[in-house]
Chains A and B, each alone.
Chain A
Amino acid sequence: MSIRHGLLALLEHGPRYGSQLRTEFESRTGSTWPLNVGQVYTTLGRLERDGLVSQGGADGAGHPLYAITDAGRAELRTWFERPVDRSSPARDELAIKLAMAVGAPGVDIREVIQAQRRHTVKAMQDYTRLKAQALTALEDGGPRERDDVAWLLVLEQLIFQTEAEARWLDHCESRLIRLSATAPAAPATAHPAAPATASEPGAGAGVRRGPGAGVGAGDGGGGSGGAAGGGAEGRGR
């Protein structure tokens, strides 16, 4: 995590002391990634060791001040210019969970997906409410406009990220439905509870077909979502 670079960026605006850096970091990013003062001082210590900041003087209240060095400025420039590495993806617990849920005995993968979808959409609702507040603050033209803009960008990043997750979950679900609908083992007719949607492979009822049909995944049944996963497996990609 680039606390290092975050602190350098703040120090480029002039010398600061530790807890001031912490406050500024948090108001830029809306406390999304809270820092404690200990982390700030540890990081400042390393930056000083690497010659990227130097300690000098104190403010009126006696707080020791840190300043960015020329080497620190160069490091900061490089950071802004260099794209953030995406070539070695961070471990994602949800992706791992769904990968493990495919065909797992006693696991209804559609329930796993729906529980996550609810949670993810809920998080988006919360972020969106905060975003509406941030937009209002910006329109009202508060004194901390730069912080408000920064906070808005961070919030929107969270919204886009959760949106991508929600879309991916939708995609997983319809992918599983499609695979179970076309799996060779699946009977040609739909479950009697959903006769009319049988002609619509995209409709939710489709998942009721397949080896475990008889328990609607959406009704809290334990078997049929697993069947959807089983269908995917049975297809032998």
Chain B
Amino acid sequence: MSTPLAAQPVLRLQKLTRVHGSGATEVHALRGIDLDVHPGELVAVMGPSGSGKSTLLTIAGGLDSPTSGQVVVEGTDITTAGAKELAALRRRSIGYVFQDYNLIPALTAAENVALPRELDGTSARKARGEALAALEEMGLGHLADRFPDEMSGGQQQRVAIARALVGDRRLVLADEPTGALDSETGESVLALLRTRCDAGAAGVLVTHEPRFAAWADRVVFLRDGAIVDQTVRSEADSLLTGRVAEA
């Protein structure tokens, strides 16, 4: 890439469309999405149910293919990448958090978190060390050896988030990650995502909760598969000037 790294988006979606089904049952889930997410940036996607938020996120993560358009992750167009290259990129660069946590029931919390690292060739010892550190960061160190069915929904979701963040992923994609959480736990999840992005990761957060979207640098509004509006980043001192000047 000739562009300097900081200027290059971690995720670039270009003219993205996705049609589900065909003929009478055809659904235009995405209608020409353009979106760049840069290092250090957390973008929230809001929109009514059925507006295409989950479709956008699964395509951005290479879990579904667009009908047309490009998905570029760290300079690689994943719509044309080979299966092996795509699999490696998914494991190494992209972290996902889903509405349902998708933990493997037969593995402990630490094993679940370590799994993507081990699949990526990290030694079992090192992967476990990283997993424990990620769990610690979520305040879940004490649950490392529990199985999913021995944890509450909120705990499982935080384990899933630790799994998405382990090993320095560059792109974190989260689809309603706060869905099952009480408001304080949800908030701690957002604070953590925010911290990761401040440290240089790019994040996309799908949520219908304005209070969680407000942690983002930019909020994109989706309607009928198209971006209809977005907030632009401003300095905080546009509001409450006195305090900010003092802070």
Contacts and interface: CB of A to CB of B under 8 A. Distances in A.
Contacts of A32: 240, 243
A135 B228 CA distance: 33
A230 to B, nearest CB: 20
Interface residues of A, number: 46
Given A30-B240, A170-B48, A218 B226 contact: yes
A205 B224 contact: yes
Given A31-B240, A121-B213, A197 B50 contact: yes
A114 B220 CA distance: 12
A202 interface: yes
Interface string B219-245: 101011010111110101011111110
Given A196-B26, A202-B50, A31 B243 contact: yes
Q: Is the interface of B mostly helix, strand, loop or mixed?
A: mixed
Interface string A149-174: 00100000001101100110010011
Contacts of A31: 240-243, 246
A122 interface: yes
A126 B46 CA distance: 17
Nearest to B216: A125
A137 B190 CA distance: 18
A188 B215 CA distance: 41
Interface string B36-56: 000000000011111100000
A173 B224 CA distance: 14
Given A30-B243, A218-B228, A127 B49 contact: no
B242 A202 contact: no
Given A30-B240, A174-B48, A114 B214 contact: no
A197 B224 contact: yes
Contacts of B7: none
Kindly name the residue among B26, B194, B211 whose own CB sees the greatest number of chain A CB atoms within 10 A: B211
B223 A218 contact: yes
A204 interface: yes
B27 A159 contact: no
B91 interface: no
B236 A121 contact: no
Contacts of A130: 236, 239-240, 243-244
A102 B228 CA distance: 22
A122 B210 contact: no
A125 B51 contact: no
Interface string A179-204: 00000000000000011110010111
A118 B231 contact: yes
A163 B211 contact: yes
B2 interface: no
